[in-house]
Amino acid sequence: MLDYSTLLAGGEINRITGQNEKLGGINMPEYRLQTPISKEDIKKLKIGDTVFLSGTIYMARDAAHKRMVELLENKEPLPVNLKGEIIFYAGPCPPKPGQVIGPVAPTTAFRMDPYAPAMYKYGVVGTIGKGPRRDLVKESCKKYGAISFAAIGGLSTILSRRVKAVQVVAYDDLGPEAIRRLEVQDFPLLVAYDSNGEDLYQQEIAKYENYNQKTNKGAVGHEKI
Amino acid sequence: MRIVDAEVLTESVAKLCWEACYYLPEDVLAGFRRAEKTEASPIGKSILQQLLENADEAKTNHMPYCHDTGMAVVFAEIGQDVHISGGNYLDSIQEGVRTGYREGYLRKSVVGDPLLRVNTGDNTPAVVHTEIVPGDQIKITVLPKGGGSENMSAMKFLLPGEGIEGVKKFVLQTIKSAGGKACPPVVVGVGIGGSFDKVTSLAKHAVLREIGVHHPDPHIAELENELLEAINDTGIGPQGLGGTSTALWVPIETYACHITALPVAVNIQCHAARKKTIVI
């Protein structure tokens, strides 16, 4: 059995031994976190950190965000309380008999960017998606002390095994886009945008642009074409 | 003349849908393995290893490799000596997609009207491309096309004088603006020439070519190599998290075009580069 205590609580960096290559593969801290994640813990997470997340998260994507942000604009309550929660941008395949959930992995986070500031302002503390996001998301993470995680897009068979329970909690009519409550166990994430407004995508791509194997360095701005 | 029952088309398409989604083609897996060996970024290397593991699990457990089982794009080559009986040709293809997505437990990702956006619930309609060819056989390919990479595709009319350099610039610009959003490592299908409609079709057909196979014309094959190198020099890497494996292959298809025009289209295919063919 794994220890699900919030390892960040003491403020000390706790490494998980033996799993260093699992997602980040770089010499960065790895944390095992249990939801809800406190604002203090969010502040301690830095880009490139690996997080194995356990507990409750909520799945919502394009159509559900459109509806929710309209409700927020009209100062109406959301169909489910997402304050302090983490939203996973995704829509699963239907489960085969005996499966908890069908294959699932994050969708492109960028499409949820227009909604993200309103959701973070409302009280969502973290989001999970794939791919780079606009500056307004970085600014929102900084402003509201929130975070944007990356999970691997298309890693759907593997990630579905980390989901232990699932329930549609709103917008059933949206089919794969309905809001679902998930119980996850050790769901592998990378911190892509932290509460300081740092950007993992930008940082890492710069290292490999026009990469020179001999020097192990990139050279930004030396395009041949 | 050979007679083929429409029901055979339905059954074949249904099977192709789920087989394409469950079993990643060998040329794509080989591409992952090559990339994993050469990838300079530890994050990128780890991602490639996990994608290989994911493909393996999907195959073993007969599950979709990626949850975005796409909008089905069906390519049919119908021999001119074939007669399809017992049903409407297009209906039989759509019924195959409906059955395949239901029985294969694939995600239903299609909305019936692009503006009203109500899910059709059965992943139809598929996009169907039909070509009449010599012979008495039918060749059907299903390409389940995911939304993330399709969204990042682009088309442009260059000035004829912009030539090969203009083509390179546009392809590279499209890849850079897609970045991690297109779910790299990607296959970059490029169409050059034809008309407004033809050039995007060329780019889409290019994606069907096996990874590692070049265009027969030497100057196009050379362009494929140059673009592959330039795309992998962008540093975008697997998932856009940095690295030297952004693209697995850059297949290019060309066609004649008008004296005023140099159309170029880029159809990006994510790492779930699924395709499955049957010959009836």
Domains along the sequence of chain A with CATH: 27-208 (3.20.130.10)
Name the nearest CA neighbour of A92 among A107, A108, A81, A79: A107
pLDDT digits (tens, 9 = 90+) for A3-57: 323 333 322 333 343 344 444 445 678 899 999 999 999 999 999 999 999 999 9
Residues of A with a catalytic annotation lie at: 65
Domain limit, last residue, from B94, B118, B145: B145
What is the pLDDT at residue A17? 36
Task: Among B112, B129, B145, give the residue marking a domain's end.
Answer: B145
State residue A27's pLDDT score: 60
Q: What is the pLDDT of residue A225?
A: 67
Question: Which residues does A18 contact at the CB level (< 8 Å), separation at least 6?
Answer: none
Domain shared by B138 and B153, yes or no: no
One domain, residues B221 and B248: yes
Do the Cβ atoms of B148 and B139 come closer than 8 Å? no
Q: Mark whether B135 and B203 lie in a shared domain.
A: no
Average pLDDT over residues B267-276: 96
Q: Write the single-letter amino acid at B13.
A: V
Which of B68, B102, B245 to mutate against chain A (most A CBs within 10 Å)? Answer: B68
Same domain for B7 and B141? yes
Kindly state whether B25 is in contact with chain A, defined as any CB-CB distance less than 8 angstroms: no
Mean pLDDT along residues A56-75:
95
Tokens of A10: 């003491």
Largest CA distance in chain B: 58
Collapse the DSSP code of A110 into the 3-class scheme (helix H, G, I; strand E, B; otherwise coil) and give the result: helix
CA distances from B96 to A92, A204, A215, B107 (A): 22, 44, 54, 15
Q: Are the C-beta atoms of B68 and B273 separated by less than 8 Å?
A: no
The range of the structural domain enclosing residue B224 comes to 148-272
Q: Is A102 in CB contact (< 8 Å) with chain B?
A: yes
Which residue in B43, B119, B172 is closest to A175 by CB distance? B119
Q: Does residue B171 share a domain with residue B134? A: no
Distance from the Cα of A70 to chain B's closest Cα (Å) equals 17
Q: Which of A103, A153, A176 sits opposite B63 (nearest CB)?
A: A103
User: Does residue B124 fall inside a structural domain?
Assistant: yes
Are residue B124 and residue B191 in the same domain, yes or no?
no
**CA dist., res. A116 & res. A128, Å (int):** 11
Q: Tell me whether residues A208 and B241 touch, CB distance under 8 A.
A: no
Contact A147, A88 (CB under 8 A): no
B120 touches chain A (CB under 8 A): no
Asked if B196 is an interface residue toward chain A (Cβ–Cβ < 8 A), one would say no
CB burial of residue A20 (10 Å; 0-12, 13-18, 19+): middle
Residue range A69-93: average pLDDT? 95
- Number of domain units in chain B: 2
**What is the number of CB-based contacts under 8 A between chain A and chain B?**
188
Q: Looking at residue B237, what is its pLDDT?
A: 97
Q: Are B180 and A130 in contact (CB under 8 A)?
A: yes
CA R_g for chain A? 18
For chain A, give the number of residues: 225
Instruction: Return the exposure string of B4-34: e unless at least 16 CB atoms fall within 10 Å of the residue's CB, then b.
Output: bebeebbbbbbbbbbbbbbbbbebbbebbee
Would you call B45 an interface residue with chain A, using a CB distance cutoff of 8 Å?
A: yes
β-pair type (B154-158, B262-269): antiparallel
- Domain check: are B141 and B261 in the same one? no
Q: Residue A217 and residue B242: Cα distance in Å, rounded?
A: 12
Q: B97 and chain A: CB distance < 8 Å anywhere?
A: no
Q: Which residues of A touch B108 (CB under 8 A)?
A: 175-176
Contact B54 A156 (CB under 8 A): yes
* Mean pLDDT score, B214-222: 97
Chain A, 49 to 78: residues with Cβ < 8 Å from chain B are: 63
B34 is a domain residue:
no
Domain end among B114, B145, B176: B145
Contact A150, A200 (CB under 8 A): yes
Render pLDDT for B137-191 as a digit per residue (tens, 0 to 9): 999 999 999 998 999 999 999 999 999 999 999 999 999 999 999 999 999 999 9
Residue A202 CA to residue A103 CA, distance in Å, equals 29
User: With contact defined as beta carbons under 8 Å apart, do B148 and A107 qualify?
Assistant: yes
The answer, yes or no, to whether residue A95 has pLDDT greater than 90, is yes
B31 in a structural domain = no
Task: Name the nearest CA neighbour of B47 among B205, B243, B252.
Answer: B243
**A-chain residues near B47 (CB < 8 A):** 152
Q: In this predicted structure, what is the pLDDT of residue A214?
A: 73
ipTM: 0.90
Q: Is residue B44 part of a domain?
A: no
Instruction: State the pLDDT at residue A3.
Output: 32
Whether A204 sits inside 8 A of B41 (CB atoms) is yes
- Residue whose structure tokens are 């779930």: B272
Residue A177 touches partner B, C-beta closer than 8 Å = yes
CB spacing of B65 vs A154 below 8 angstroms: yes
Asked if residue B51 belongs to a domain, the reply is: no
Rounded to the nearest angstrom, the minimum Cα separation between A48 and chain B is: 9
* Domain match, B126 and B184 both: no
Which DSSP symbol is given to A176?
Answer: G
- Residues B71, B199 share a domain: no
- Contacts of residue B70, defined as CB under 8 A and 6 or more positions apart, other chains included, come to B21, B109, B143, B144, B145, B146, B147, B274
CB contact under 8 A, B54 and A153: no
Distance CA A24, CA A34 (A): 19
**CA-CA distance, A192 to A106, in Å (whole number)?**
13
Do the beta carbons of residue B191 and residue B253 sit within 8 Å? yes
Contact B46 A24 (CB under 8 A): yes
Contact at 8 Å (CB) between B17 and B141?
no
Cα distance between residue B46 and residue B264, in whole Å: 34
Distance from CA of B179 to the nearest CA of A (A): 7
B203 inside domain: yes
On whether any CB of chain B is under 8 Å from the CB of A42, the answer is: no
DSSP conformation class of A162: T
Mean pLDDT of chain B: 96
pLDDT cut 70: percent of chain A above it:
86
Q: For B53-96, write each residue's pLDDT tens digit.
A: 999 999 999 999 999 999 999 999 999 999 999 999 999 999 99
Max Cα separation, chain A?
Answer: 58
B265 and B188 assigned to the same domain: yes
Which of B43, B57, B117 to substitute to test the interface with A, most A CBs within 10 Å?
B43
Averaged pLDDT for residues A203-215: 87
Whole-model pTM?
0.89
pLDDT in tens, B54-66: 999 999 999 999 9
Residue B278 placed within a domain: no
For residue A104, list chain B residues with Cβ-Cβ distance below 8 A. 67
B30 in a domain, yes or no?
no
Count CA atoms closer than 13 A to B160's CA, side-chain side.
7
3-state SS record for B160-175: HHHHHHHHHHHHHHHH
* Percent of all residues in chain B with a pLDDT value above 70, rounded to a whole number: 100
B15 with B116, same domain: the answer is: yes
- With an 8 Å Cβ cutoff, are A131 and B230 in contact? no
- CA dihedral of B238, B240, B241, B245, whole degrees rounded to 10: 30
Chain B residues with CB under 8 Å of A220 CB are 235
Residue B212 structure tokens: 């590692």
- Most A-contacting residue of B113, B239, B245 (CB-CB within 10 A), to test interface: B239
Q: Which residues on A lie below 8 Å from B64 (Cβ)?
A: 93, 102-103, 156-157
- Which pLDDT tens digit goes with each residue over B198-209? 999 999 999 999
Query: Which among B245, B208, B252, B246 has a CA at the least distance from the CA of B40?
Result: B245
